[in-house]
Amino acid sequence: MLLEYKQSIVVSLNDDVTEIIQLAKSFEYDVVNTFIQHRNNPNVKTYIGSGKLDEIKSYLEDNEEIGLIIFDGELRPSQWFLLEKELGVTVYDRIKLILMIFKERAKIKEAQLQVQLAELEYEKPHVKELIHRTRSGEHPGLMAGGEYQVDDYFEMIKKQIKLIKNKLLKIEQDRAVLRKHRKRSGFYLVSLAGYTNAGKSSLLNVLTNEDVTVKNQLFSTLSTTTRKINDDKLPILLTDTVGFIQNLPTWIIKAFHSTLEEIKEADLVLLVIDVSDPFPIVLKKINASLKELGELNFSSSMLLILNKIDLLRKENISDIKNQICELVHFSKDDIIEVSLKEKIGIYGLINGIMTHLPDMLHMELELPQSSEIQSFISFLYDKTYVLSTSYEKNIYVELKCNANLLSKIKSFCIEFNGTIL
């Protein structure tokens, strides 16, 4: 069924409106016009200057079908009240638009609670502004019962926030118990992070041989999805998490703390970036993602996964890697190029994951030539990653394996007169 998009306009203080238009489309609004005003700082009262405000008013008089005005920034509550009053049309800022998209996409209880918490945190300063205006004798048209009803509503918001935080804390504690159980069972925990719509769910599908729904839209994933990597030699559980986006306030990140905790507690994080964008946008998305990871006091190992290399020339990929190493201080060993759509670079990705996991051992064995030794070599191929095997006077095997296999490999070496080099 074709979606019927409603009409909106965007107001911005800079020329790059690509992302806000994508966000509007994710909320099923077509942006039919954009109004750009170049200024260093927003107008204190109305975000934009009076001349630009009059220009928008005039446009709205001739285009009554416009149902939403989106400001690509964060409006103060006082600015929002004044703009809605002046323009006579529903006004969203960037944060409100993101929250509305979150609300539509939240399907499970945890995600719904996180979105409710973020909405209430967003609403709190707006209700404070409403209280201020009511006490000043203004009648903004909301909560017509007067000052006391507005005060009661503010107290109700604070109580709801406390209640939701307690529910999310319980979910977070339950998940922490589950993580400990998984680690005790010998699993590594690897989390997918990255800018929204970079290909995290596609990466989950490729590595786990699953069929998690992949949509070409912003914030298609709001809740966590955990699957086992489709390789018996790698006891890894891979978790997909909510995508990042630039200029998110700290309180939204905190609202999603129980979900983002999966990143903080992982043994390894795969940071996925769409490298087919122009390099300034790639750099902006990497920095935005790292900033939000920083909000989590994140300290795990990390690999930067550059996705969609099939859309670039080989020499361009090399240039991009060099610039990232120089500007963002990743080492080349921590950057892996893939095309999840074309299944390019998957072996290199798996090898990179193995290299960066804690307690992953790199070993070289020297084994005698004998008919009995083949059972040991078969074990190594079944349970470890054999990098090379050389048959000379003796047999030389180079491999990577989980540290918990060390005692078993030592026992086999003793039994078959082999040596760990």
> Could you report the per-residue pLDDT of 97-137, keeping only the tens digit for each?
989 988 888 878 888 888 899 899 998 888 888 777 777 66
Would the pTM of this model clear 0.85, i.e. be above it?
A: no
pLDDT digits (tens, 9 = 90+) for 394-404: 999 998 888 88
Q: Tell me if 326 sits within 8 A of 319, measured CB to CB.
A: no
Distance CA(194)–CA(418), nearest Å, equals 45
Distance CA(302)–CA(168), nearest Å, equals 27
Q: Which 3 state secondary structure label does DSSP give 412?
A: helix
Mean pLDDT for the stretch of residues 31-56: 93
Percent share of the chain, pLDDT over 90? 38
Q: Tell me if 353 sits within 8 A of 268, measured CB to CB.
A: yes
Q: Tell me if 193 sits within 8 A of 269, measured CB to CB.
A: yes
pLDDT of residue 143: 45
**346 CB-contact burial (10 Å; exposed 0-12 / middle 13-18 / buried 19+):** middle
Segment holding 408, helix H or strand E: helix 406-415
Q: How confident is the model at residue 231 (pLDDT cuts 50, 70, 90)?
A: confident
**Stronger pLDDT, 244 or 98, i.e. the higher one:** 98
**Stronger pLDDT, 38 or 295, i.e. the higher one:** 38
Mean pLDDT for the stretch of residues 200-216: 76
Q: Does the pLDDT of residue 330 top 50, yes or no? A: yes
Helix ranges restricted to H, 2-146? 18-26, 50-62, 77-87, 94-105, 109-135
Please, what are the domains in the chain? 6-102 (3.40.50.11060), 106-165 (no CATH), 186-356 (3.40.50.300), 360-420 (3.30.70)
Give the other-Cβ count within 10 Å of 388's Cβ.
Answer: 9
Flag the least confident range among 44-53, 158-167, 191-200, 238-247.
238-247
Q: Which residue has the tokens 């946008």?
A: 281
Average pLDDT over the chain reads: 85
Nearest to 277 by CA among 36, 30, 17, 18: 18
